[in-house]
């Protein structure tokens, strides 16, 4: 089906006139399979004028949780399980980040600003601000989603250096409004998944992490990372970034204080994704919970309260499967609903792969209709050389020489993890002289097994087989 996207033809844009109608904006969001930046769409949004001082006054001394990380760049990602956490007010955060006396910065006084960053990330606005109606005026209706406001959005407040490890979101696509300061986004297409060494440890529903610290990749351990195609963009206040489904992203605050608001947009494909996530949860919890106490490591992300029981996980799986078929039934009329034939199964598999990795022909047709220009800017692949604006170079092959002789970075918490690496690669000191693995020293861990067992491609296949069985 061809797209019919129409730009509003105007000689000049007034303060209250937007370059896209809500219908056009929604069609772009739901169709575009490449990241892009909307400009001049939110000039009249009250949220655009927020800053930390204003939000602090609204919260009136209420504390929120901040994640504390080190500004020292390691060769391993700074997962949330490797961070410290404090509860503090925005007033204390502002005092700390602006260099005021430590007596005003509360729990932040334990962390030297030059060495650490702080991030109040993934905070649901409705939970933090409760009945503060003025904070809910985030008008996603301008993008074609009426009724969606700050109540369906999350808030992100960070200091310089605050970052989110590289990951993909299993559900939906993502709209991100930059309110204060700038953030640099490193995005990678779904087709780069195998080059990013996906892992589900630490485990968090709907988040697939990369083992690679994309800001400082260790190409000795992750040589395939050099084959990735980075799309890098610096998001400034007033701009809205579209992150399409299953695009990997690493995000870093590059100004002293940054504020962002985002909302995840549900997609029909989420019903199958929820089945995949239910399978993943069942396997990860079952296998990690079966480890002996001596093998215990921090495998749950702080966002997960506890490891759910096998019975609860199976209930969740069955509910996800039921929801999937309910959606299928709603979308297909009784008269035209096909039977569960081999052709149907092949078609479903092809449809999944096309959505996941994209059909180049279909993409080309879409891009010919998408109104790119000053109000909708493509986030293009990063050029081979460092740009004149100082953007991070995307030719990671050059970094191989820089990493030679370097350390592998600090591992979390216990000496035990030196023996239980999350990597499937064999370290150089475990190789025989002919380059083959030394059988006497190679020991696969539970996490190695899980990295293969719950690999996104494997889980996708298992989900299709399970849905076929359930649909018989």
Q: Structural domain boundaries of the chain? A: 22-267, 268-332+454-471
Q: What is the pLDDT of residue 121?
A: 96
User: Would you identify the CATH topology of the domain 22-267?
Assistant: Jelly Rolls (2.60.120)
Q: Does residue 9 surpass a pLDDT of 80?
A: no
Task: Report the predicted TM-score, pTM, of the whole model to 2 decimal places.
Answer: 0.80
Residue 73's pLDDT band, with cuts at 50, 70 and 90, is: confident
Q: What is the mean pLDDT of residues 162-169?
A: 98
d(CA 431, CA 442): 9
d(CA 452, CA 354): 23
Residue 361 token pair: 């022909």
Q: Does residue 448 surpass a pLDDT of 60?
A: yes
Q: What is the pLDDT of residue 332?
A: 76
Q: What is the pLDDT of residue 48?
A: 93
Residue 97 token pair: 């980040």
Q: What is the mean pLDDT of residues 420-430?
A: 40
* 91 closest CA partner among 157, 181, 177, 162: 157
Q: What is the pLDDT of residue 241?
A: 98
Q: What is the pLDDT of residue 31?
A: 95
Q: Does residue 62 surpass a pLDDT of 60?
A: yes
Phi, psi of 95 (to 5 degrees): -65, -45
Q: Does residue 290 surpass a pLDDT of 60?
A: yes
Tens digit of pLDDT for each residue in 386-413?
433 333 343 333 333 333 333 322 223 3
**125-132 contacts at long range (C-beta below 8 A, 24 or more positions apart):** 125/150, 125/151, 125/153, 125/154, 125/155, 125/261, 126/150, 126/151, 126/152, 128/59, 128/62, 128/64, 128/155, 129/58, 129/59, 132/58
Rg (CA), the chain: 23
Residues 154 and 260: beta-carbon distance below 8 Å? no
Q: What is the pLDDT of residue 17?
A: 87
* 392 closest CA partner among 224, 235, 185, 199: 185
Instruction: Out of 72-81, 244-253, 430-439, pick the least confident.
Output: 430-439
Cα 281 to Cα 118, 141, 202, 450, distances in angstroms: 29, 34, 12, 11
Residue 292's pLDDT band, with cuts at 50, 70 and 90, is: confident
Q: Is 365 exposed, middle or buried (CB count within 10 Å of its CB: 0-12, 13-18, 19+)?
A: middle
d(CA 33, CA 363): 7
Residue 70 token pair: 């080190």
Tens digit of pLDDT for each residue in 324-358?
999 988 887 554 545 444 434 433 433 333 344 34
Q: Does residue 424 surpass a pLDDT of 50?
A: no
Residues 122 and 154: beta-carbon distance below 8 Å? yes
Residue 198's pLDDT band, with cuts at 50, 70 and 90, is: very high
d(CA 214, CA 186): 8
Q: Does residue 444 surpass a pLDDT of 70?
A: yes
Q: What is the pLDDT of residue 368?
A: 53
Q: What is the pLDDT of residue 400?
A: 32
Tens digit of pLDDT for each residue in 117-163?
999 999 999 999 988 888 998 999 999 999 999 999 999 999 999 99
Whose tokens are 């994704």? That residue is: 273
Q: What is the pLDDT of residue 347?
A: 38
Q: Does residue 276 surpass a pLDDT of 70?
A: yes
């Amino acid at each position: 089906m061809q797209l019919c996207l129409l730009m509003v033809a105007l000689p000049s844009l007034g303060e209250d006139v937007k370059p896209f109608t809500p219908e056009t904006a929604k069609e772009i969001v739901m169709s575009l399979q490449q990241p892009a930046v909307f400009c001049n769409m939110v000039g009249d949004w009250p949220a655009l004028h927020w800053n930390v001082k204003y939000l602090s006054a609204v919260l009136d001394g209420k504390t929120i949780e901040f994640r504390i990380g080190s500004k020292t760049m390691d060769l391993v990602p700074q997962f949330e399980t490797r961070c410290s956490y404090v509860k503090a007010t925005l007033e204390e955060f502002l005092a700390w980040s602006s260099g005021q006396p430590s007596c005003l910065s509360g729990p932040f006084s334990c962390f030297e600003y030059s060495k650490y960053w702080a991030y109040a990330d993934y905070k649901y606005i409705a939970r933090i601000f409760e009945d503060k109606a003025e904070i809910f005026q985030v008008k996603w209706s301008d993008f074609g989603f009426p009724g969606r406001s700050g109540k369906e959005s999350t808030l992100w407040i960070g200091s310089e250096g605050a970052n989110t490890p590289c990951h993909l979101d299993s559900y939906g696509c993502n709209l991100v409004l930059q309110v204060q300061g700038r953030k640099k986004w490193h995005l990678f297409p779904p087709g780069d998944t195998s080059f990013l060494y996906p892992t589900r440890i630490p485990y968090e529903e709907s988040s697939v992490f990369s083992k690679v610290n994309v800001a400082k990749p260790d190409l000795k351990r992750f040589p395939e990372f050099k084959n990735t195609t980075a799309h890098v963009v610096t998001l400034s206040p007033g701009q809205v970034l579209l992150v399409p489904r299953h695009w990997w992203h690493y995000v870093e605050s590059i100004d002293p204080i940054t504020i962002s608001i985002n909302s995840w947009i549900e997609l029909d494909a989420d019903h199958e994704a929820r089945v995949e996530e239910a399978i993943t949860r069942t396997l990860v919890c079952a296998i990690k919970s079966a480890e002996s106490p001596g093998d215990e490591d921090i495998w749950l992300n702080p966002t997960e309260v506890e490891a759910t029981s096998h019975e609860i996980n199976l209930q969740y799986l069955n509910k996800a499967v039921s929801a999937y078929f309910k959606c299928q039934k709603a979308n297909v009329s009784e008269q035209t609903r096909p039977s569960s034939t081999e052709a149907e199964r092949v078609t479903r598999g092809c449809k999944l792969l096309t959505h996941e990795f994209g059909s180049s022909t279909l993409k080309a047709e879409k891009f010919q209709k998408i109104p790119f220009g000053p109000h909708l800017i493509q986030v293009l692949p990063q050029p081979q050389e460092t740009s004149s604006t100082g953007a991070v170079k995307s030719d990671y092959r050059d970094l191989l020489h820089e990493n030679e002789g370097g350390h592998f970075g600090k591992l979390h918490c216990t000496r035990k993890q030196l023996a239980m690496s999350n990597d499937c690669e064999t370290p150089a000191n475990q190789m025989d002289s002919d380059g083959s693995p030394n059988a006497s020293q190679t020991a696969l861990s539970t996490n190695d097994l899980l990295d293969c067992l719950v690999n996104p491609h494997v889980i996708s296949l298992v989900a299709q087989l399970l849905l076929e069985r359930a649909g018989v």
